Chain A
Amino acid sequence: MFPFRVPLDRWISDAVDFLVRELGAVFDGFSAFVYFMVDNLKDGMLTLHPLILMAVIVAITWYMAGWRNSLFAVIGLLLTENIGLWQAFVETLALVLTAEILVMVVGLPLGIYAAKNDRFDSIIRPVLDFMQTMPAFVYLIPAVMFFGLGLVPGVVATFVFALPPLIRLTNLGIRQVPKELTEAADAFGATDMQKLFKVQVPVAKATIMAGVNQSIMLGLSMVVIAAMIGAGGLGEDVLRGIQRLQVGQGFEAGLVVVILAIILDRITAGIGARKNNG
């Protein structure tokens, strides 16, 4: 139909080459930082006796989500330890938490800014669509080129996939703050910062926490994919089960991912539903 073909593929690979060549130092620095975080988090948790870490997780669940959920956490965590997946569980938890911290550091300000600035909102919207729907395998390759095999590209892939819901829901939450509330803040002579932190963010907290919750869930769904590039953790066990056609082992690992997902979901949902003077 056309006498020519848009060389999109070449542009992109050229761009990736260019970034790897010119910004290598930046990526290395970032890589070191992520390693530092994940390793410390993981090692810190693993130095604790499993029962102590379990107790901490159960206590947090109890405090945030009530005793029923904490009972589930007790059973789930004991089962994990019992079937020998505790170490993988902690590795995955460290990876997801690190990715989630990065997501929050980047996502919350961007979400807030998108809520305040319609132009930025309209620019970032297609970018978020891209991040959410682009098959993860496609950006695993450049991620590996930037950061090498292992944990960091796993965290980055998780980050890319988990960032959009937080930005979207933060944006939505702040925009949904009733107009009268922001008018009230203005009428009482609030500065922009006072308005943001005393009215908008606290009122939007439930929606923002739904965003955190969703991004953690999406992050967990990336665990297996991230394992393909050597991120380790529970995903590795799932993959091994698949590769060796060991249905039982694969299921076990998958089940532990679900247990982790449910615990994190209940905790974050619990935070969102809480009232406090913020």
Chain B
Amino acid sequence: MIVITWDYFMPGLPGIRSSVQWAYMASGILENMQEKIVVKNLFKVFGKHPDRALKALKQGKSKDDILKETRLVVGVQDASFTVYKKEIFVLMGLSGSGKSTLERLLNRLHEPTSGEIIIDGIDITRLNKKELRDFRRKHFCGMVFQNFAILPHRTVLGNVEFGLELQGVDKETRHKRAMEMIQQVGLEGNEESYPDQLSGGMQQRVGLARGLAVDADIILMDEAFSALDPLIRRQMQDELLQLQNKLQKTIVFVTHDLDEAFRLGDRIAIMKDGKIVQVGTAEQIISKPADDYVKAFVEDMDRSAVLTAGSILQPLVEQAFPNDGPRTMMRKIRQNKLTGLVMTDKAKTLKGYVIARELADYINKNKDKEDIPFDNNLIQQPSIVHLDMPLTEVINVYSDNQFGPVVVVDHNQIVHGVVTRGSILAALSEDPDIQVMDNKEK
């Protein structure tokens, strides 16, 4: 398999996308992916007799009101979502939004108040204590924590072995496996060090290696990189993505940092007051924020790094077909006040672009004729961009463009739409009104 890295498309701009991310972009096979974790109507209320809070929630009372009336804290309310195999699913929200609580519900570090958590087809809310323990050992790579949570009295090796040791794996096997993982995260040579001799970044590598050593499918990461300084953090994000390319785990990653969420997440769930406000890819969330809260959230994002041609394109309002006569084309152009027409066949495969000005001259020259034949010399090759191309690249292509809009195609040269100056400006300014005003190429 060829692994395509970010640099291939965006040289000079650091960042790597996981293969799953590319898979989404390339073929939109999201719906065909296998479900790994399915959460249905999950509630978590902290305090005694949580039923009171559930009842109040049903009556539509807010989290704050419930806290005032019953002194119960609503951690998560009515969360439903699906995490697919091998994706990085990010839970994003401010502190107190319930994201860490929700993550801890997934392995029942917190007991759910009501709802279902189905992992690999098993509803784990029904497991008893022993079954739950076995399930955790088999399905979860433990958990990776904000403050690393590695054991201060054990060496790096002792920490990485921890999960296997709990499972009663014999010393030799777990030693070997732990050393592999230590190598995997780039800590070889440090296996006899104690945590307090390591930097934050290295400690979190230990945390990661400890999880990976268990060799289960799901990695839960809770603000795993939030305690690291920005440079190291960036580096760890890259390394996580590289590891993920290799290991193909299912990762549920909690963060309060939108940049991190968009960088890592194949899909992102944005949470507020214990509720999931929106689930989607970075593009979906940026281009169609579900409400004002999400909108305010994504306002600060560097949109050009996240949006792609596919997410900002405008569908064709009109197109030319190869057997259209010049006058038919001209009528289409006039009716829609266009500067030209994209020519496709009936299957929407790109054939070329006809510039309005050239077409008008041609008709003028031949205006005596009753039936003007179309001259294939009128067909120009427009600039094209791929659906997945990031906006920053699209802008480059657009600025080098000689005429007309930039045509957006997929792998099979099927036209999906065009990118105009208006759509680029609209995307960058994220003001939907501009899009309406500047809908047509002048």
Taking Cβ atoms with an 8 Å cutoff, the residues of A that contact B are 178, 180-181, 183-191, 194, 198-199, 202-203, 205, 275-278
Contacts and interface: CB of A to CB of B under 8 A. Distances in A.
Given A183-B104, A194-B166, A277-B158, A188 B151 contact: no
Interface of A is mostly: helix
A278 B153 CA distance: 7
A178 B149 contact: yes
Nearest to B155: A277
B353 interface: no
B136 A187 contact: yes
A275 B194 contact: yes
A29 B47 CA distance: 48
Contacts of B137: 188-189
A180 B145 contact: yes
Contacts of A187: 107, 109, 136, 140, 142-143, 220
Given A180-B146, A183-B143, A203-B151, A188 B109 contact: no
Contacts of A275: 152-153, 194
B344 interface: no
Contacts of A191: 133, 166
Contact of B214 (A181, A185, A188): A188
A82 to B, nearest CB: 41
Nearest to B163: A188
A184 B145 contact: yes
Which 9 residue pairs across A and B have the least CB separation, nearest first? A189-B137, A180-B149, A187-B143, A189-B136, A188-B142, A188-B163, A184-B149, A180-B145, A187-B142
Residue among A178, A184, A275, A276 having the largest count of chain B Cβ atoms under 10 Å: A184
A203 B142 contact: no
Contact of B134 (A181, A184, A189, A199): A189
Contact of B151 (A189, A194, A202): A202
B43 interface: no
Contacts of B158: 277
Contact of B166 (A183, A190, A276, A278): A190
Interface of B: 104, 107, 109, 133-137, 140, 142-143, 145-155, 158, 162-163, 165-167, 194, 214, 220
Contacts of B134: 189
Contacts of A178: 147, 149
A184 B143 contact: yes
A141 B429 CA distance: 87
B153 A181 contact: no
13 contacts: A178-B149, A180-B146, A183-B143, A184-B142, A184-B150, A186-B136, A187-B142, A188-B143, A189-B167, A190-B166, A198-B162, A203-B151, A277-B154
Nearest to B168: A194
B353 to A, nearest CB: 57
A198 B162 CA distance: 9
A210 to B, nearest CB: 16
Contacts of A190: 133, 166
B352 to A, nearest CB: 59
A112 B194 CA distance: 26
Residue among A188, A194, A278 having the largest count of chain B Cβ atoms under 10 Å: A188
Nearest to B214: A188
Given A183-B143, A190-B166, A194-B166, A202 B136 contact: no
A113 to B, nearest CB: 19
B104 A276 contact: no
Given A181-B151, A183-B109, 5 more contacts: A183-B149, A184-B150, A188-B142, A189-B134, A277-B155
B194 A199 contact: no
A103 to B, nearest CB: 24
A186 B136 CA distance: 8
B245 to A, nearest CB: 24
Nearest to B136: A189
B167 A203 contact: no
Nearest to A182: B149
A275 to B, nearest CB: 6
Given A188-B166, A189-B166, A203 B152 contact: yes
Contacts of A203: 151-153
B152 to A, nearest CB: 7
Residue among A203, A275, A276 having the largest count of chain B Cβ atoms under 10 Å: A275
A221 B134 CA distance: 50
Contacts of B143: 183-184, 187-188
A36 to B, nearest CB: 36
Contacts of B135: 189
Nearest to B130: A191
A98 B154 CA distance: 32
B149 A181 contact: yes
Contact of A186 (B109, B151, B152, B214): B109
Contacts of A198: 151, 162, 165-166
Contact of A183 (B133, B145, B154, B155): B145
A276 B153 contact: yes
B151 A199 contact: yes
A53 B140 CA distance: 54
A276 B154 CA distance: 7
A195 to B, nearest CB: 9
B153 A205 contact: yes
A188 B162 contact: yes
A185 B158 CA distance: 14
A8 B220 CA distance: 60
A277 B220 CA distance: 26
A191 B133 CA distance: 8
Given A187-B140, A188-B162, A202 B153 contact: yes
A266 B148 CA distance: 32
A217 to B, nearest CB: 25
Residue among A186, A203, A278 having the largest count of chain B Cβ atoms under 10 Å: A186
B177 to A, nearest CB: 14
Contacts of B220: 187
Residue among B134, B136, B154, B167 having the largest count of chain A Cβ atoms under 10 Å: B154
A188 B155 CA distance: 18
A226 to B, nearest CB: 36
Contacts of B151: 181, 198-199, 202-203
Contacts of B145: 180, 183-184
A191 B130 CA distance: 9
Contacts of B165: 198
Nearest to A276: B153
Residue among A184, A187, A203, A275 having the largest count of chain B Cβ atoms under 10 Å: A187
